[in-house]
């Protein structure tokens, strides 16, 4: 579960996929960790070398437990497919992963890696699927190496996916191209080490070329859901008269238009975020923001605001993110804020409203309302909200927008001590 999460100004954007839309990372693993990959000795301590076929009753018992875990994971993912977990939901997810890791480690330490030869292909594939969905990347590395030795190509495919997941977390680069990213409606591989040789590595374990694999995954993606539609007509207020019209703001967009907007917004987010990594390069940020702002103006003129109820949640998020950084065009930010105010239909959009409200108010030399904009004292390693109205009641206001308490939010900006 938990596709790779990119933290952007306190929001999370879930867009990474692996085979059958499984996980590539977690919130705590959004960036590669410096930990070394498990050694063969460490793997032998995790997974027994037992190769004796499992008795039928034991196979049945293990299969039942794996099914129960899988059902619970699917239930949780289905209930929270939109992301934006509350603190309680995040704790539930973490508890689910911890429990799963404990069970898998106990099972593999006791029974060893279960191949089709030892327990039947159905059980072997069910085990591989569950390990792939866990966040136990050390176990994935060790299990993946064993699965790659299987005579069954499906099991080897699972092994490649486990290896890729573990490598992505440890090094930031995968080996077989199993992890894919949705950019709009286009699937793109996560970074691959020695990308030129990926098809040769895939062929060595019996997998199709990467391009074929991407086509297969793309074909399995669910169709885009039809937008819910506006609950009420959007009004054109003076703040937006320079950018759009009431007719455009309320027209129904076709699926082709939504797909095109989704792809372009996702593509613009990449340079937007790249320019801001590692302190940010002013020239790169200025160039990225100018391109994004020009696109936003064109979108408002032709399509109106791509709110979640008119398009989809990811497009709405990406358009908001680009607007958040359009500081050189404050009139545009004021217009989008007005449109979001009229069209908030999801928790994410309420949070977007809070962030953009604070951004706009500070630019107008007014105190912010929700405390989303912070200053960081790098010497004391402490973050604090910039000019804030009525600090005593900020958490009450944040709660209405689905935001965590301010103290918890400020901890996100603290850097771990060396």
Residue 35 per-residue DSSP state: P
Question: Does residue 380 belong to any structural domain of this protein?
Answer: no
User: Residue 49's domain spans which residues?
Assistant: 5-220
Whether 169 and 252 map to the same domain: the answer is no
- This prediction has a pTM of 0.69
- Give the separation between CA 299 and CA 60, rounded to whole angstroms: 56
Pairing of strands 16-17, 11-14: unpaired
Residue 21's pLDDT is: 28
Quick: pLDDT tens for 152-196.
999 999 999 999 999 988 888 999 999 888 877 888 898 999 999
Same domain, 214 and 265: no
Domain presence at residue 414: no
The Cβ of residue 71 has, within 10 Å, a number of other Cβ atoms equal to 10
Mean pLDDT, consecutive 10-residue stretches, the chain (418 aa), reads: 29 32 28 68 95 95 95 84 63 90 96 95 95 93 96 95 92 92 84 96 96 93 87 97 98 94 93 80 90 98 97 94 97 98 92 97 98 91 94 96 93 73
Residues 255 and 303 in one domain: yes
Beta-bridge mates of residue 17: 180
Indicate whether 211 and 297 sit together in one domain. no
CA distance 111 to 109: 6
Backbone φ and ψ for 57, nearest 5 degrees, come out as -60, -40
Around Cβ 126, how many Cβ atoms within 10 Å? 20
Largest CA distance in the chain: 76
Q: What is the pLDDT of residue 282?
A: 85
Query: Are 21 and 125 within one domain?
Result: yes
- Residue 415 covered by a domain: no
End-to-end CA distance of the chain: 31
Phi, psi of 174 (to 5 degrees): -95, 175
What does the chain come to in residues? 418
Q: Closest Cα partner for 375 from 365, 385, 366? A: 385
99 with 159, same domain?
A: yes
Instruction: Among 366, 386, 412, give the residue marking a domain's end.
Output: 366
pLDDT (0 to 100) of residue 321: 96
Q: Which two tokens stand for residue 343?
A: 């069209």
């Amino acid at each position: 579960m938990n596709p790779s999460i990119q933290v952007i100004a306190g929001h999370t954007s879930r867009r990474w996929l692996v085979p059958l839309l499984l996980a590539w990372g977690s919130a705590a693993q959004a960036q590669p960790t410096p930990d070394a990959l498990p050694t063969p000795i460490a793997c032998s301590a995790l997974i027994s070398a037992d190769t004796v076929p499992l008795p039928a009753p034991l196979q049945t018992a293990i299969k039942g437990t794996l099914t129960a875990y899988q059902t619970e994971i699917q239930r949780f993912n289905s209930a929270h497919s939109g992301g934006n977990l509350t603190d309680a939901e995040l704790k539930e997810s973490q508890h689910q992963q911890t429990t799963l890791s404990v069970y898998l480690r106990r099972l593999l330490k006791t029974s060893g890696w279960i191949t089709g030869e030892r327990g039947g292909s159905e059980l072997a594939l069910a085990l591989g699927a569950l390990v792939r969905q866990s966040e136990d990347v050390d176990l994935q590395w060790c299990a993946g190496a064993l699965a790659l030795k299987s005579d069954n190509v499906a099991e080897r495919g699972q092994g490649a996916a486990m290896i890729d997941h573990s490598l992505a977390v440890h090094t930031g680069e995968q080996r077989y191209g199993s992890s894919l990213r949705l950019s709009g409606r286009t699937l793109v591989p996560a970074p691959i080490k020695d990308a030129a040789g990926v098809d040769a590595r895939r062929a060595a374990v019996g997998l199709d070329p990467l391009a074929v694999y991407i086509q297969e995954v793309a074909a399995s993606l669910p169709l885009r859901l039809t937008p819910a539609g506006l609950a009420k007509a959007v009004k054109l207020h003076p703040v937006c008269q320079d950018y759009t019209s009431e007719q455009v703001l309320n027209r129904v967009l076709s699926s082709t238009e939504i797909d095109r907007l989704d792809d372009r917004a996702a593509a613009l987010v990449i340079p937007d975020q790249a320019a801001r990594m590692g302190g940010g390069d002013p020239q790169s940020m200025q160039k990225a923001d100018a391109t994004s702002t020009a696109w936003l103006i064109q979108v408002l003129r032709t399509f109106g605001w791509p709110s979640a109820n008119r398009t989809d949640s990811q497009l709405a998020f990406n358009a908001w993110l680009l607007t958040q950084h359009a500081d050189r065009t404050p009139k545009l930010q004021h217009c989008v804020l007005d449109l979001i105010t009229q069209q908030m239909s999801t928790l994410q959009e309420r949070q977007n409203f809070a962030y953009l409200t604070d951004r706009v108010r500070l630019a107008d030399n007014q105190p912010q309302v929700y405390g989303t904009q912070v200053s960081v004292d790098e010497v004391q390693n402490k973050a604090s909200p910039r000019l804030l109205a009525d600090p005593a009641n900020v958490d009450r206001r944040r709660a209405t927008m689905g935001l965590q308490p301010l103290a918890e939010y400020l901890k996100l900006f603290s850097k771990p001590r060396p």
